[in-house]
């Protein structure tokens, strides 16, 4: 039977004793097959399947499984069928191709399909989409031009491997190769590839996930938080104000080679405890309510929220306003006009960047490693962060630990867990307590002990006895 398939039509179909075949009139050759009612199999285990019928130049009439309805949508099935048809038009032997490379999918084609069909809002947040794409493009598609990364590319060469060649051993080798650069990058790469391969299994593209069972590297836990003295030292190095003008001292940032916007982001996180990405780099001037002294965080990890600004946060914002990153004229030590670059100092702009508190130097500019900046706000402070830590002789730790450092410092000064919970914007007190694991090294053991003594679940308020002064 031929008809124009629609989701509502398919969902309304009922099982019968015999098989049912429904050919799609929109994409000729695409067929929905519904098995007959089984004798020994549960009806709940039955799945509808899409097939594509075509003629192979070497094998004659051929039927190829597209995927199970539910695992893939009708539109996805149509796109797959059109791809096969296009290959046939180009006189490519689809049957021989399939026989040679397994399912006809390489690592690259599976990733590209995942990007096209799954890696989009609302399935993932914008920052998650960007993180996955950046990691995959850097290590699998080899798009980076940075020498410290490209030297590892000879050991990472699976993009055009077909899945009959990809196994756990190969993935482990890649994991080790990337680990030579950074355990964090290596772990994120395997985690993202695992998600992509799970998609491939659900879409009946591959049968086995080669990333399953790979043990992630332990990421460095040395110096996980900053001390109060280190926090103040970094703030003094990043938030430098000219006492005469009460504006940011741009000459200082130029002489140090620090990214001025990156510095202020770091100071913002260490003074306010906000997350460096969505609660820092991406915030807009329009989000600030000066009368109520609040800032509206649209993309906070816990959802939209109004964050109460203290005097530290207000001071930073007002200083930025007075200083104005835009169109600042100054002279270098030789009396010559200051030449800005993507790493330090002021820069000129008259575009969407005016909306953002922390605008990007590289927006619309091609970087030395071949990428053009697409974000109007700053997205990365890593280069400046590493340089500052090195200059201050502070062992490296991830930028995200600034928030953990702030939380620990706040608690040690106030001993008020509830106040810290409100400041961090957590809905559960247990989440807040986890930020203090460097203060209370045995907090999990203490939680279990408390639960055993009281017979109560260790959630929310039950944590309070751990922090006697709260």
Half-sphere exposure of 86 (CA within 13 A, CB side): 6
Please list, in sequence order, all residues whose beta carbon lies within 8 angstroms of the beta carbon of residue 351, skipping any fewer than 6 positions away. 363, 364, 376
Please check whether residues 191 and 247 belong to one and the same domain: no
Instruction: Report how far residue 300's alpha carbon sits from residue 298's, in angstroms, rounded to the nearest whole number.
Output: 6
Q: Is the pLDDT of residue 6 over 70?
A: yes
Question: What does the pLDDT read at residue 316?
Answer: 92
Q: Is 222 within a domain?
A: no
Q: pLDDT band for position 97 (50/70/90)?
A: very low
Torsion of Cα atoms, 221 then 222 then 223 then 225, to 10°: 0
pLDDT tens-digit map of 193-249? 999 999 988 887 888 899 998 988 876 544 478 888 899 999 999 999 988 889 998
At residue 468, the pLDDT reads 37
CB 22 within 8 A of CB 31: yes
Q: Judge if 232 and 351 occupy the same domain.
A: yes
Within this chain, do residues 279 and 147 fall inside the same structural domain, yes or no?
A: no
How many domains is the chain partitioned into structurally? 4
Mean pLDDT of the residues in the chain? 77
pLDDT over 90 percentage in the chain: 13
Q: Output the pLDDT for position 35.
A: 80
CA angle 388, 347, 255 (to 5 degrees): 40
User: Has residue 439 been placed in a domain?
Assistant: yes
Per the domain annotation, does 281 fall within a domain? yes
Map the chain to HEC letters. Answer: CEECCCHHHHHCCCCCCCCEEEEECCCCCEEEEECCCCCCCCHHHCCCEEEEEEEECCCEEEEEEEEEECCECHHHHHHHHHHHHHHHHCCCCHHHHHHHCCCCCEHHHHHHHHHHHCCCCCCCCHHHHHHHHHHHHHHCCCCCCCHHHHCCHHHCCCCCCECCCCCHHHHHHHHHHHHCCCHHHHHHHHHHHHHHHHHHHHCCCCCCCCCCCCCCCCCCCCCCCCCHHHHHHHHHHHCCEECCCCEECHHHHHHHCCCHHHHHHHHHHHHHCCCCHHHHHCCEHHHEECCCCEEEECCCCCCCEEEECCHHHHHHHHHHHHHCCECCCCECCCCCECCCCCCCCCECCCCHHHHECCECCCECCECCCCCEECCCECCCCHHHHHHHHHHCCCCCCCCCHHHHHHHHHHHHHHCCHHHHHHHHCCCCHHHHHHCCCCCCCCHHHHHHHHHHHHCCCCCHHHHHHHCCCC
Q: What is the pLDDT of residue 467?
A: 38
**pLDDT class of 53 with cuts at 50, 70, 90:** confident
240 and 378 co-located in one domain: yes
Q: Is residue 450 part of a domain?
A: yes
What is the reported pLDDT for 60?
64
The CA-CA-CA angle for residues 308, 262, 325, to 5°, reads 85
The pLDDT value recorded for residue 463 is: 38
- Whether residue 53 is found in the same domain as residue 125: no
Q: Indicate which CATH number applies to the domain containing 253.
A: 1.10.443
Judgement on whether residues 252 and 369 belong to the same structural domain of the protein: yes
Per the structure block, which two tokens stand in for 363? 């927006």
One domain for residues 240 and 372: yes
Indicate whether 101 pLDDT > 50: no
Reading across the β-sheet that carries 30-34, which strands appear in turn?
A: 2-3, 20-24, 30-34, 49-56, 60-68
Q: How far apart are CA 92 and CA 103, in angstroms?
A: 15
How far is it, in rounded angstroms, from Cα 57 to Cα 95? 8
- Among residues 167, 202, 237, which one ends one of the domains? 202
| Residue located via tokens 């030789």 | 334
In a domain, 108, yes or no: no
pLDDT digits (tens, 9 = 90+) for 268-290: 999 988 888 777 788 889 989 99
My answer on whether 243 and 361 are in the same domain is: yes
Residues 365 and 258 in one domain: yes
Q: Rounding to the nearest 10 degrees, give the CA dihedral for residues 2, 8, 10, 11.
A: -160
**Residue 107 domain-assigned (yes or no):** no
Least confident of 226-230, 366-370, 401-405, 441-445: 441-445
Predicted TM-score (pTM) of this structure: 0.55
Q: How sure is the predictor about 151, in pLDDT bands with cuts at 50, 70 and 90?
A: confident
Last residue of a domain, one of 93, 128, 148: 93
Find the CATH number of the domain harbouring 75. Answer: 3.30.160.390
- CB 291 within 8 Å of CB 416: no
Q: Which domain holds residue 156?
A: 114-202
Answer yes or no: is 109 within a domain: no
Which has the higher per-residue pLDDT, 339 or 469? 339
- Is residue 141 assigned to a domain? yes
Q: Are residues 269 and 371 in the same domain?
A: yes
Whether 341 and 432 map to the same domain: the answer is no
How confident is the model at residue 194, as a pLDDT?
93
Please tell me whether residues 173 and 235 are part of one structural domain. Answer: no
Those residues whose C-beta lies under 8 Å from the C-beta of residue 402, and which sit 6 or more positions away, are 226, 266, 269, 270, 276
Integer CA distances (angstroms), 445 to 49, 414, 453, 458, in order = 50, 24, 12, 11
Return the higher-pLDDT residue of 265 and 461.
265
Boundary-marking domain end, from 59, 93, 127: 93
Identify the pLDDT of residue 328: 53
């Amino acid at each position: 039977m031929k008809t124009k398939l629609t989701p509502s039509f398919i969902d309304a179909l009922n099982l019968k004793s015999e098989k049912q075949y429904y050919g799609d009139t929109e994409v000729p050759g695409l067929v929905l097959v519904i098995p007959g009612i089984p004798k020994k199999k549960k009806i709940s285990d039955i799945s509808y399947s899409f097939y594509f019928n075509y003629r192979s130049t070497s094998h004659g009439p051929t039927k190829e499984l597209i995927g199970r309805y539910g695992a893939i949508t009708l539109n996805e099935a149509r796109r797959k069928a059109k791809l096969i048809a296009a290959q046939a038009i180009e006189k490519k032997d689809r049957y021989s191709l399939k026989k040679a490379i397994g399912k006809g999918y390489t690592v690259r084609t599976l990733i590209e399909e995942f990007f096209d069909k799954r890696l989009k809002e609302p399935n993932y947040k914008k920052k998650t989409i960007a993180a996955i794409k950046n990691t995959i493009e850097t290590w699998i598609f080899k798009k980076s031009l940075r020498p410290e990364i490209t030297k590892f590319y000879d050991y990472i060469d699976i993009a055009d491997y077909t899945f009959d060649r990809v196994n756990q051993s190969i993935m482990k080798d890649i994991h080790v190769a990337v680990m030579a650069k950074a355990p964090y990058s290596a772990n994120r790469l395997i985690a993202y590839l695992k998600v992509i391969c799970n998609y491939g299994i659900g879409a009946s593209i591959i049968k086995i996930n080669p990333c399953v069972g790979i043990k992630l590297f332990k990421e460095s836990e040395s110096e996980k938080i900053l001390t109060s003295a280190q926090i103040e030292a970094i703030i003094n190095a990043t938030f430098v104000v000219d006492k005469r003008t009460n504006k940011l001292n741009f000459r200082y940032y130029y002489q140090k080679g620090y990214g001025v916007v990156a510095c202020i982001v770091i100071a913002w996180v260490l003074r306010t405890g906000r997350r460096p990405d969505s609660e820092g780099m991406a915030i807009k001037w329009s989000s600030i309510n000066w009368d109520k002294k609040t800032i509206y965080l649209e993309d906070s990890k816990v959802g939209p929220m109004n964050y109460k600004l203290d005097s530290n946060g207000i001071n930073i914002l007002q200083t930025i306003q007075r200083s104005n990153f835009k169109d600042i004229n100054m002279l270098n030590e030789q009396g010559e006009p200051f030449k800005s670059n993507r790493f330090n100092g002021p820069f000129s702009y008259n575009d969407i960047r005016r909306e953002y508190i922390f605008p990007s130097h590289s927006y619309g500019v091609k970087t030395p490693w071949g990428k053009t900046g697409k974000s109007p706000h700053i997205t990365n402070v890593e280069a400046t962060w590493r340089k500052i830590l090195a200059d201050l002789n502070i062992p490296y730790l991830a930028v995200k630990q600034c928030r953990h450092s702030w939380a620990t410092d706040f608690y040690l000064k106030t001993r008020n867990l509830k106040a810290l919970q409100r400041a961090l914007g957590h809905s559960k007190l247990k989440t807040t307590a986890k930020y203090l694991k460097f203060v209370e090294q045995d907090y999990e053991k203490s939680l279990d002990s408390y639960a055993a003594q009281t017979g109560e679940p260790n959630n929310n308020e039950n944590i309070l006895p751990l922090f006697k002064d709260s």
